[in-house]
Amino acid sequence: MWKAGFIRRICIHLTKEKMKITPTFGKVFRDSEYALDPDVTFCNNGAFSAVPKQVLFSQAKFRYMQETDPEAWFRYKVKEAISNATDNVADMFGSNKENLVLVENATTAANTILKSLSFSEGDKILITTHTFMCVKNAAMFIANNNPGVEVVVMAINLPILSKQQLVDSLLEMLNCHRGIKLAILDHITGPSGILFPIEDMIPLCHQRGVMVMVDGAHAPGQVELNLEEIGADFYFGNLHKWCYSARGCSILYVNPKHSDKVNPLVTSKVECPRLRNRFLMQGSKDYTALCSSSAAVEFLQDIGGLSAVKNYNEPMLKWATDMLCKAWNTTTIPIHDSLKAPFMILIKLPDIENIPLLTPDGSKAIALSVYQKHKVHIAATRVNGRFWLRLSAHVYNTKDDYYKLRDALMDIYLPQLS
């Protein structure tokens, strides 16, 4: 039934400039503003998120424009639509409009930067043990295809008792590996939800002539961003995780001193002096997620901005964390409070005997079994040699979601705690 109603609302929205938002978070908000299946419980917003209907309607409007006159769309309209959206997103994240472009996702952004830079024998790329696998693979690709280039890994050891502990670890790596050309630092680590003190780490790298690429895949919509003030050489982050955009939309910020070096992965036109022009189009494909990112910015503003979202998400996450830790007689990742991501946290899973191998496949098996039997989406992750639950809280979540999560894990893997 909801599908028919959803299609009707798309048609209605094509003639409306804007929908009215009622920012009452939780179940009412989920039912009114999202298309989520009511029979499924979503506790893993940090993976693929959910797109608000207002943004889906905006994307559908652009798709309708595209299909009513494809020739005019691709020849005359799409560049302006992407450019206007880019302006709005740049304003939101404190970026000069000339320094920010939109790409499909964080993985695309990471590859774009790494494959635009020149590396010579003796150069090193710094990553950490918590670097997201796709970004690590991109760095390894550069090393494997450039003789004499090496990837060096900074270990992140638990517990982390202070910000300074991470800063000192970085300093040690910089001192021990003089050839580091590029440091890849997470803003919020994907596997572990650690909020890096990049405000202290970036200057440390720059003092030693090391460029910094910040993987902010989880940052937009979780933390306030002013990209010009952050001072990174390169910064990228998904808008479709925590910032309400349609999937397939990420920011890519390039410090102007590097703008001449960075080109899209797909070369589709002659060289353009302006960074944005080089990224506006790479052939005939669906650009509507990029175009509708303006609607995502608008949606966040309509619901009260990041402060309103934090006022709901942070207490919800704390309550759910305390409840689950008590139920499972367990603890959270041992890191200082200042290093905890606003809307994600790791909870140590008790030993799970029937998942014998601590492998990524084991993590997937846990998540899949919980979904198949109980229709609950979770993120199980492997950090420092054991399994953890990466818990997310977002504006559509309720306490009942986390009770269902608790009972699902206890039914399948933790019956001794029931």
Co-location of 249 and 114 in the same domain: yes
State the total domains in the chain.
Answer: 2
Is residue 275 located within the same domain as residue 348?
no
Residue that is last in its domain, among 239, 274, 297? 297
**15 CB contacts (<8 Å, ≥6 apart)?**
none
Q: Let me know whether 214 and 327 are in one domain.
A: no
How many other CB atoms sit within 10 Å of the CB of residue 76?
Answer: 10
Indicate if 315 and 290 belong to the same structural domain: no
> In this structure, is residue 130 part of a structural domain?
yes
293 & 311 share domain: no
Are both 231 and 380 inside the same structural domain? no
Using DSSP bridges, classify how beta strands 386-392 and 380-383 pair: parallel, antiparallel or unpaired. Answer: antiparallel
The answer to the question of residue 62 being in a domain is no
Predicted local distance difference test score (pLDDT) of residue 76: 95
Spatial distance between the Cα atoms of 244 and 242, rounded to a whole number of angstroms: 6
Helix (H) or strand (E) holding 389: strand 386-392
Q: What is the reported pTM?
A: 0.93
The string of DSSP codes covering 126-160 is EEETTS-HHHHHHHHHHHHTSTT-EEEEE--PSPB
Longest CA–CA separation in the chain, Å = 65
- The residues near 12 (Cβ < 8 Å, ≥ 6 apart) are none
Residue 46 domain-assigned (yes or no) = no
Last residue of a domain, one of 266, 297, 328: 297
Q: Is 210:185 a contact under the CB 8 Å cutoff?
A: no
CB 344 within 8 A of CB 218: yes
Tokens encoding 378: 């979770």
Pair of tokens at residue 361? 């496949």
Query: What pLDDT is recorded for position 388?
Result: 94
Structural tokens at position 71? 């020739």
- Judged by phi (left if over 0) then psi (alpha if -120 to 50, else beta), residue 410 lies in alpha
In a domain, 33, yes or no: no
- Name the 3-class secondary structure at 109: helix
Q: Give, in order, the Cα–Cα distances in Å from 215 to each of 115, 126, 187, 297.
A: 15, 13, 6, 21
- Return the amino acid letter for 394: H
Q: Give dist(CA 174, CA 195) in Å, integer.
A: 20
Question: Tens digit of pLDDT per residue, the chain (418 long)?
Answer: 444 454 455 544 444 445 456 578 999 999 999 999 999 999 999 999 999 999 999 999 999 999 999 999 999 999 999 999 999 999 999 999 999 999 999 999 999 999 999 999 999 999 999 999 999 999 999 999 999 999 999 999 999 999 999 999 999 999 999 999 999 999 999 999 999 999 999 999 999 999 999 999 999 999 999 999 999 999 999 999 999 999 999 999 999 999 999 999 998 866 688 999 999 988 899 999 999 999 999 999 999 999 999 999 999 999 999 999 999 999 999 999 999 999 999 999 987 765 655 555 778 889 999 999 999 999 999 888 888 999 999 999 999 999 999 999 999 887 766 6
Pair 317, 242 in one domain? no
Contact status, residue 225 vs residue 246, Cβ threshold 8 Å: no
Q: What is the CATH number of the domain that holds 352?
A: 3.90.1150.10
Neighbours of 159 (CB within 10 A): 11
For residue 118, being part of any structural domain is answered with yes
Q: Is 180 in a helix, a strand, or coil?
A: strand
Based on the fold, state whether residues 397 and 268 are members of the same structural domain.
no
Residue 15: predicted pLDDT = 42
Residue 372 lies in a domain: yes
CA-nearest of 48, 86, 62, 61 to 287 is: 62
Rounded alpha-carbon distances, angstroms, from residue 314 to 32, 44, 336, 342, 394 = 22, 15, 16, 6, 9
H-run or E-run covering 60: helix 53-68
**pLDDT at residue 81, as a whole number:** 97
- Asked if 392 and 331 sit in the same domain, the reply is yes
Q: Are residues 317 and 284 in the same domain?
A: no
Do 44 and 403 touch, CB atoms closer than 8 A?
no
Q: Which two tokens stand for residue 211?
A: 């460029």
Distance between CA 264 and CA 115 in Å, rounded? Answer: 9
Whether residue 397 sits in one domain with residue 293: no
Q: What are the tokens at 24?
A: 């009452």
Examine the fold and report which residue of 281, 297, 313 is the final residue of a domain before the chain moves on.
Answer: 297
Domain of residue 143, CATH code: 3.40.640.10
User: Which residue's structure tokens are 């920012």?
Assistant: 23
- For residue 245, is it within any domain? yes
State whether residue 25 is helix, strand or coil. coil
**What amino acid occupies position 262?**
V
What integer pLDDT is reported at residue 417 of this predicted model? 67
Element (DSSP H or E) covering residue 316: helix 305-328
Distance (Å, rounded) from C-alpha 73 to C-alpha 285?
Answer: 11
With H, G, I as helix, E, B as strand and everything else as coil, classify residue 265. coil
List phi, psi (to 5°) of 388.
-135, 155
What 3-state DSSP class applies to 268? coil
The closest of 256, 253, 173, 184 to 214, measured between CA atoms, is: 184
Is the residue at 282 inside a domain? Answer: yes
Domain coverage including residue 353? 305-417
- The whole-number pLDDT of residue 16 equals 43
| Residue with the two structure tokens 């039934």 | 1
Same structural domain, 149 and 242:
yes
